[in-house]
């Protein structure tokens, strides 16, 4: 298992934006999906596309969870600079569940909170 204090420290440093709360320099957790062609994209809660910066040398695949920093914002899309690709790890699962729990979609939030509770109990014991 991963070090719990390190995991909590990382989670506290990541901003979980609401609709119009994205600013330059914000750190986000983004679940990447297949875009057009060979590209990968993420989405903000308001529907805007999140694209990796062309300056990034990190390999990002569809399904990867990425910790990133916002480097450019427009009305239609946001560019991000990936800092870490978490892949399929417990940390990625927890961060994605926290995003869903805070999404504002009641049914999804209830399930995400229940899963987070179960994961926390499992990590304690």
Q: Domain residues of the chain, as ranges?
A: 4-124
d(C-alpha 28, C-alpha 69), whole Å: 6
- What pLDDT score does 14 carry? 56
Which positions ≥6 away from 125 have C-beta within 8 Å?
Answer: none
Encoded tokens for 110: 């209830």
- What pLDDT score does 20 carry? 56
Q: Which residue carries 């899963």 as its tokens?
A: 115
Query: Does pTM top 0.85 for this prediction?
Result: no
The helices-and-strands tally (H runs, E runs) of the chain is 3, 6
- What pLDDT score does 99 carry? 83
Torsions phi, psi of 124, nearest 5?
-70, -40
* CATH superfamily name and code, 4-124: Nucleic acid-binding proteins (2.40.50.140)
Please answer whether residues 119 and 111 qualify as being in contact, where contact means their C-beta atoms are separated by less than 8 angstroms.
Answer: no
- What pLDDT score does 19 carry? 44
Using 70 as the pLDDT threshold, list the residues of the chain that sit under it: 1-20, 125
């Amino acid at each position: 298992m991963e070090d719990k204090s390190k995991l909590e420290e990382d989670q506290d440093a990541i901003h979980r934006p609401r609709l119009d709360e994205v600013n330059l320099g914000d750190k986000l957790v983004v679940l990447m999906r297949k875009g057009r062609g060979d590209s990968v994209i993420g989405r903000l809660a308001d529907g805007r596309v999140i694209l990796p910066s062309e300056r990034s040398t990190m390999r990002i695949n569809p399904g990867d969870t990425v910790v990133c920093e916002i480097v450019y914002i427009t009305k239609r899309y946001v560019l991000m600079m990936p800092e870490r690709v978490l892949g399929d790890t417990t940390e990625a699962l927890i961060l994605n569940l926290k995003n869903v729990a805070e999404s504002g979609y009641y049914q999804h939030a209830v399930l995400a909170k229940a899963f987070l509770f179960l994961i926390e109990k499992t990590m304690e014991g």
